[in-house]
């Protein structure tokens, strides 16, 4: 671990076994190493991390999305609130499975029809992740690559569902080097849905290609030590989406991540730098909050 102290004990001869103080520092370093790797998962970008064997990883995220320029006859302006519960489980050293359950509330202001609101269940997502490659450079520093795939399962809840099983596949690279972390992911999803003018980017009748990247800087501590119990990261994300009907968008967002040994808190802001959509409303603003638990 960068900056990890290797203390000596006055008056004691070095032997085969470390001193109690050194052992405590090393033990703290190893405990923080596992949580530090999980911290490299930025709020809106996948990472090549997963729970240890037999462990669960619970994540709750709340997104606010403002949409405008609706191409449908309703000419809507939409405010969306989506609460997504994710639960991952470590099946084996390199395998995990996860389930996402998104609940959504949409408030629409349609031309001539006033404001309406609706609450429902978006499609569920079942994912299997496999990490075929990992190269550890130190107690925390690590390079990892993972493949993942799964299917979005229709909730059947009216316009909140695509009413189709939509498979997806992707890969992600994660690098942790000192105070710096990077993630780069590509995901392709085949959409069988029949819903047009959906408010969910990447759904509808066209296939979707996502390219996501993030950079994390560990603001504090500058170096881990025996008494370190938490870390704070600044994050910067780029989320891009291209749909085979020609719609596309690029979202850039700064954020912050606070990570302790068994929980984490995250917040991020998303601002569009490219919007070109003819089949759905375009994104004006994204605000996201989240909390994670490891157990």
Window from 6-10, 43-47, 51-55, 236-240 with minimum mean pLDDT: 6-10
**Taking the chain, what is the end-to-end CA distance rounded to the nearest angstrom?**
23
Which of the listed ranges 113-122, 161-170, 221-230 does the model predict with the highest average pLDDT? 161-170
Q: Report yes or no on 11 lying in a domain.
A: no
Please report, for the chain, how many H helices and E strands are present, in that order: 1, 13
Q: Residue 148 pLDDT > 50, yes or no?
A: yes
> Across residues 199-220, what is the average pLDDT?
91
- Is the CB of residue 212 less than 8 Å from the CB of residue 20? no
Residue bearing the bigger pLDDT, 262 or 203: 262
Q: Report yes or no on 50 lying in a domain.
A: yes
Residues 6+ positions from 96 with CB-CB distance below 8 Å: 50, 51, 88, 89, 90, 128, 129
Q: Report yes or no on 156 lying in a domain.
A: yes
Q: Residue 145 pLDDT > 90, yes or no?
A: yes
Q: Residue 253 pLDDT > 80, yes or no?
A: yes
Q: Residue 134 pLDDT > 80, yes or no?
A: yes
Containing structural domain, residue 125: 20-294
Q: Report yes or no on 4 lying in a domain.
A: no
Residues 6+ positions from 119 with CB-CB distance below 8 Å: 103, 104, 105
The pLDDT tens digits of the residues spanning 18-73 come to 455 444 444 444 444 444 445 578 889 999 999 999 999 999 999 999 998 888 77
> Across residues 83-97, what is the average pLDDT?
97
Q: Which helix or strand (DSSP H or E) is residue 130 part of?
A: strand 124-136
The per-residue pLDDT for 5 is 36
Domain count within the chain: 1
Q: Report yes or no on 1 lying in a domain.
A: no
The pLDDT tens digits of the residues spanning 219-234 come to 999 988 888 899 999 9
Q: Residue 8 pLDDT > 90, yes or no?
A: no
CA dihedral 80, 242, 100, 205 (to 10 degrees): 80
- Is the CB of residue 235 less than 8 Å from the CB of residue 212? no
The per-residue pLDDT for 182 is 97
Q: How far is CA 219 from CA 28, 178, 224, 253, in A?
A: 19, 11, 12, 17
The per-residue pLDDT for 196 is 62
CATH number for 126: 2.40.160.40
Q: Residue 1 pLDDT > 60, yes or no?
A: no
- Is the CB of residue 60 less than 8 Å from the CB of residue 87? no
Q: Report yes or no on 2 lying in a domain.
A: no
Q: Report yes or no on 5 lying in a domain.
A: no
DSSP state at residue 158? G
Q: Report yes or no on 204 lying in a domain.
A: yes
């Amino acid at each position: 671990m960068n900056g990890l102290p290797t203390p000596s004990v006055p008056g004691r001869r070095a032997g085969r076994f470390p001193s109690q103080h050194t052992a405590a520092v090393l033990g703290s370093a190893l405990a923080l190493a596992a949580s530090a790797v999980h911290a490299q998962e930025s709020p809106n970008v996948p990472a090549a991390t997963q729970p240890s064997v037999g462990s669960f990883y619970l994540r709750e995220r709340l997104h606010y999305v403002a949409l405008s320029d609706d191409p449908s006859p309703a000419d809507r302006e939409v405010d969306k609130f989506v609460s997504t519960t994710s639960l991952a489980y470590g099946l084996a050293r390199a395998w995990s499975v996860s389930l996402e359950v998104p609940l959504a509330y949409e408030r629409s202001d349609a031309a001539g029809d006033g404001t309406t609101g609706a609450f429902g269940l978006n499609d569920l997502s079942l994912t299997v992740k496999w990490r075929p490659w990992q190269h550890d450079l130190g107690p925390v520093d690590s390079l990892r690559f993972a493949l993942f795939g799964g299917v979005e399962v229709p909730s059947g809840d009216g316009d909140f569902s695509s009413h189709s099983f939509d498979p997806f596949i992707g890969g992600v690279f994660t690098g942790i080097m000192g105070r710096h972390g990077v993630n780069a992911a590509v995901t392709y999803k085949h959409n069988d849905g029949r819903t047009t003018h959906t408010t969910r980017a990447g759904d509808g009748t066209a296939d979707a290609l996502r390219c996501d990247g993030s950079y994390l800087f560990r603001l504090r501590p500058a170096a881990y030590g025996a008494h370190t119990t938490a870390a704070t990261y600044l994050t910067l994300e780029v989320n891009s989406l291209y749909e085979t009907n020609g719609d596309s968008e690029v979202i850039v967002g700064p954020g912050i991540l606070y990570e302790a040994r068994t929980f984490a808190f995250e917040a991020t802001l998303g601002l569009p730098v490219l919007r070109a959509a003819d089949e759905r409303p375009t994104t004006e603003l994204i605000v996201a909050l989240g909390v994670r638990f490891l157990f």
